Structure 1
Amino acid sequence: MTDFATPNLPSRGFDATVGFYGVLGFDVVYRAEDWLILRREQLQLEFFPDPVLDPAANAVMCCLRVDDLDAWYRRISDAGVPEGATGFPRRHPPKTEVWGGRVAYLVDPDGTQLTLVQNG
C-alpha cells in the first residue's frame, strides 16, 4: 500500500455530512457513532462528531489535489452548492493563483474549507 494522509474533519451530524458529500460522489466506507469515513476514488475524508460546532467559527481546512479541477467544480455547481462569499455551503470558482496553480474552494455545511488544487 502507498503511504497517504487523510484529513480528519468536524461534522455536526453524520447524516447531513453523508448527504452533502454523497451528492459529490463520496461513498460511506465506515460509519460508527464516533467516526465516519467517506471515499471518492483515491480521495478519503474522515469525520469526527462535533455537534456544537459553529460553522462561522470553524477554521478547519484541507487541500484536495485533483486531476480535473473543472470537472470537480462542475459537479459541485450541478449539486446546487451556491457561489458566494458567505453562507454554508458555498463555492468559489477556479482561478489561477499568484504562484501559478489553479485553485477552487468549497466550504461545506459545517464551515470546513476544501481547497481544490489542479494537479500538474
Structure 2
Amino acid sequence: MNQAATERLIGAIPTLASLSFEETIGFYARLGFEVLHSDISFLLLHRDGVRLSFWLTGNRRVPQATSCWLEVTGIGALYADFNALNIVHRKGHLEDKPWGTREFSITDCHGNLIRFSEKV
C-alpha cells in the first residue's frame, strides 16, 4: 500500500453497548468521564481526550461479549482508584504482560470489559 505522507490514523472511538444511558452515565462519571453528547440512540463520553461511544440494546448478552482497550499513563494510580471502587474484573488485576505492557481490566455496569494498558 502506498500512502501519502499526510495520510495516517489519529485515533479511535470504541462503540460499546448500553442497556441504559442513565446507568452508563452514572457509572462512567465515577471514573471521571463526562457527557459530550446524549440523545435517544447515541451517547458520547470523554475523559482526558479519550472518547467512548455507546448505543442502546435490550439484549443483556451484547455488552457481556464486548470489550475495548484504553492506553493510559500512570496505570498504578488508576488501578488503585478503580480497585477501590470494586470494579476490577475478577481476572483483570494489574499485571505485566509478555508483550511489553502493564494491564488491568474493569467491568462496567452492563458487562462491557474495559482494558487499561500502559507501555513499559
TM, length-normalised to structure 1:
0.82
For 1:1-120, list aligned pairs within 5 A.
3-54=10-61, 58-81=64-87, 84-85=90-91, 92-120=92-120
User: Which is further off, 105-114 or 18-27?
Assistant: 105-114
Q: Deviations over 1:14-40 (max 9, x none)?
A: 011001100000001100010000000
User: Which is further off, 97-106 or 62-71?
Assistant: 97-106
Aligned length: 112
Segments of 4+ moved more than 6 angstroms: none
The structure with the largest alpha-carbon Rg is 2
Seq. identity, %: 26
TM, length-normalised to structure 2:
0.82
Q: Which has the higher strand share?
A: 1
Q: Distance in 1 between matches of 2:18 and 2:59?
A: 9
Please list every run of 5 or more consecutive structure 2 residues that lacks an aligned counterpart in the other structure.
1-8
Deviation at 1:119, TM superposition (A): 3.5
Deviation at 1:110, TM superposition (A): 1.6
